[in-house]
Each structure stands twice: as structure tokens, then as C-alpha cells.
Amino acid sequence: MNKKHRMFVRMVLASLIRRRSRMIVALLAVVVGATILSGLGLIYYDVPRQMSAQFRSYGANVIFTPSGDSYITDDEIKKAVSVFPSDKLEGYTPYRYENSKLNNLPVTLAGTDFSSVLKTSPYWHISGELPDGNGKTLVGKKLAEKFGFSTGDSFSMLNSFQVTDDTDLSVIPDYEIYTDPQTGEKYCDHMLDLSLSGILETGGPEEEYIYVTLDDLSALMRSDRGCDLAEVSVAAREEELKGYLDDINNGSGNLTAKPVKRVTASESTVLSKLESLVLIVTAVVLALTMICVATTMMAVIAERRREIGLRKALGALDSSIILEFLSEGLVLGAVGGITGSLLGYLFANTVSMNVFSSAITFRPLLIPVAIIVSVAVTGLACLIPIRSAVDVDPALVLKGE
């Protein structure tokens, strides 16, 4: 390093250290700008993903139905859901519907998996508890009102079927056989005892069903025929979802995957609005903040007109003065940019934890962007007052005019 360079470095450092309070002011301005840049940037990039997860509270956005007239089996469902990336799959719930009778009135029985039902229908309001195993049931509110059921009650579901010589009765725990006096045909009454764990309120048709486990329903119906449909909740946007569904529909033969248009189409409408909201807010706030940073820098530099005048009087070249001030700006921009991007990350993370209860994805690319923007804004903001100071006759500047 030759003498000239060493002197240059010393001047830059000395100016940063000696004029501490001014430099703190300038640095603070840059840090604020960089914090807002990286904080809002991170939020902007992460909001669609986080919001998309929130939209899963609308429940299932994909439905599996049998392709033909048959039913879908557990294995087929498992195979189909394996197409979705595991971090995007919120959950899936199989449903099997059967008509049955309760106190001689027709009711619909639905067999399902209670452990996953709240993943695909998070909006279910259950007074009491969600059944946690066989022999327990969840009854729709309207049906419960009709039969006068309340939580803790017990009742039995009845399935009557004709008994022939081939009928295997060993699978049924308790039954009663009687003979029709007119035809001589034998019938079996199979009972399923259920205790009522909870009452379901949804405001929809679900309020008219009795929900039991798939095992209980298979036992009552004496067949494990598979399911009528499966609801799947996937944290993916309409387009992305379409790709997965095409994969499923092309791959497996017996199962059709359809998007629930009401949920997927509305989600993309609302999400795109939200995204553009955050984008434009970010743009407006960033633009204003950057101008703010620039005016502060200009004020800090303008104050040093006397110094510039003195240097010119001592014979400094315009270019070397400009270079020195720009280097100061560069150092400020870099230090402010790094500090700001870390603070911005902390801020964005706090926002994310508070709003979405999950950490924000850190994007390393934002650090260089924040530094480059900070340096550019600081540099530009320095350049304007320096140029005007440099252009002026040193005598006038020193005189204070």
C-alpha cells in the first residue's frame, strides 16, 4: 500500500470516528432503511406460503371419488396421497356412508377416521369430545335434537339382514335370529352399541349424520367394502394443485381426484389480492423510506461544505474529494446494510411468529440486495450535495455563504 492509499484510508476512518455523532445519525438512517427493506422483503416472500396454510381452515380442497361404480380402498387413498409432498399435505379423511335405521327412522351413518377429521374439516364445532375409538360416536346437532340425545347418552344401531346357510355369523359379537312367520325366511338383528361422545355443529348437511369409526361401520354392515370418498387438504395453490391431481388421475385407475372448486378458486382470488396488497404496501413504504434515508444523508453531507471548501483550498482534486465521500458512503451503506438485514430478519421473524406462529424462511439473497440498495442510495444521496459543494468556489464556502 503506498502512501497515498494509506492517507485515503486514514481520512475515511478518521472522518467516521471523529465525527461520531453525525455518523451515528447517518448510520441509523441507513440501518432503518435496510431493516425495512429486508424485513418487508422477507415478509413479502413468505406471506403467500404462510397465508396459504391459513386458508386450509376452509377444509378439504381435494376430493377423491371412485372412478367407476366401485369403492376406494385405504391402500388406493394412501397411494394417491403419496403424490403430494409431505410438507404440503395437511391431512386426508376417508368417508363411507350407509343408510340405517334408528328407532325405525332412517338415518345416515358415516364411517370415518376421527384422528384426521379435524385436519380436513377444521371448522367442525364439537360440544363434548371427538370420539377416540370404536364404540363411540359423534352425532349431528339436528339429528341429536330430533332424537333428544345429549353427550354421554348410549344408543344402539340396528342392522337386520337375511340369514342363509352361507351366512357367517361368527364375525358378529351379539345377534338375535328370528323367522318371518309368513315366508319362513330367517333374519338376524345385529346391534352396534354406541356411546355419544360429542355433538357436531357445522351449519351444513353434516348435522344430520351419525359418525362412527370405519371399523364399527364395517362390523355393523358386515363388510369392509372401502370408502365412498376421501377428503384431502393440501396447502397448494390452484395451479400447483392441478399438477398433482393430473399425476394422480393419470397414475391410478380406480380413483378420481377432483379439486373442490369453491375452495380452490376462491382461495386463489383472495390470496392474489392479499399478495398484491403486501407487494404494493412494501413498494410504497420502501420508496418513501429510501427517499427519507437519502434526505438524511444529504443533510449530513451538506453540513460538511466548509470541510470540502477547506480541502479544495488546500489543493485537493474534485475527483479525490468525491471519491473519499463516496467511500464513506460505501462503508456506511455496507455496515448499515448488514446490520439492517439482520434486524429486518429478526423483525420479520417476530411478525411471522406472532401472526402465523411459525418461523419465517430466511433468504440469504436479501442480504446482498439490502447492502447493494443501501450503498446505492447512500452513494446517490452523497453525490448530490458533494457535487454542489465541489462546484462552489472554496472562498465562498469558507466564508459561509
Residues in 20-49 that interact with another protein by CB under 8 A: 21-22, 25-26, 28-29, 32-33, 35-36, 39-40, 43, 47
Q: Which is nearer to another protein, 171 or 283 (CB)?
A: 283
Give long-range contacts, CB 8 A cutoff, 24+ apart: 299-304: 300/22, 300/25, 300/26, 301/325, 301/381, 301/382, 301/385, 301/386, 301/389, 302/385, 302/389, 303/22, 304/389
Cβ proximity of 89 and 232 under 8 Å:
yes
Is 19 among the residues that bind another protein (CB under 8 A)? yes
- Of 73 and 266, which CB lies nearer to another protein in the complex structure? 266
Helices marked H in 212-317: 214-221, 238-251, 261-302, 305-313
Closer residue to another protein, CB minimum distance, 76 or 238: 238
Q: Which stretch binds another protein (CB under 8 A): 184-192, 247-255, 354-362, 367-375?
A: 354-362
Q: Which span (71-79, 86-94, 119-127, 313-321) binds another protein, by CB under 8 A? A: 119-127
User: Whole-number minimum distance, CB 57 to another protein, in Å?
Assistant: 4
Q: Which of 10, 57, 160, 243 binds another protein (CB under 8 A)?
A: 57
Question: What DSSP string runs through 24-84?
Answer: HHHHHHHHHHHHHHHHHHHHHHHHHHHHHHHGGGG---EEEEESSSS-B-HHHHHHHHTTS
Q: Which is nearer to another protein, 241 or 371 (CB)?
A: 241
Among 38, 41, 42, 59, binds another protein (CB under 8 A): 59
Query: Using CB under 8 A, which residues numbered 207 to 226 contact another protein?
Result: 208
Residue selected from 183, 354, 364, 391 as contacting another protein according to rule CB under 8 A: 354
SS3 100: strand
Task: Give the residue with the Cβ less far from another protein, 171 or 291.
Answer: 291
For another protein, give the closer residue by CB, 163 or 285. Answer: 285
All cell numbers assigned to 26? 447517518
Work out which of 2, 99, 164, 182 binds another protein, going by CB under 8 A. 99
Nearest residue (CB) to another protein, 184 versus 400: 400
Build a one-symbol-per-residue string for 355-394: x at contacts with another protein by CB under 8 A, - elsewhere.
xx--------------------------------------
**Does residue 386 contact residue 308 with C-beta atoms inside 8 Å?**
yes
What CA–CA distance (Å, rounded) separates 200 from 124?
7
Quote the CA–CA distance of 306 and 392 in Å, as a whole number.
Answer: 11
Asked if 158 contacts 100 with a C-beta cutoff of 8 angstroms, the reply is yes
Q: Choose one: 160-168, 179-187, 188-196, 346-354; the region binding another protein (CB under 8 A).
A: 346-354
- Residue 290 C-beta-side C-alpha neighbours within 13 Å: 21
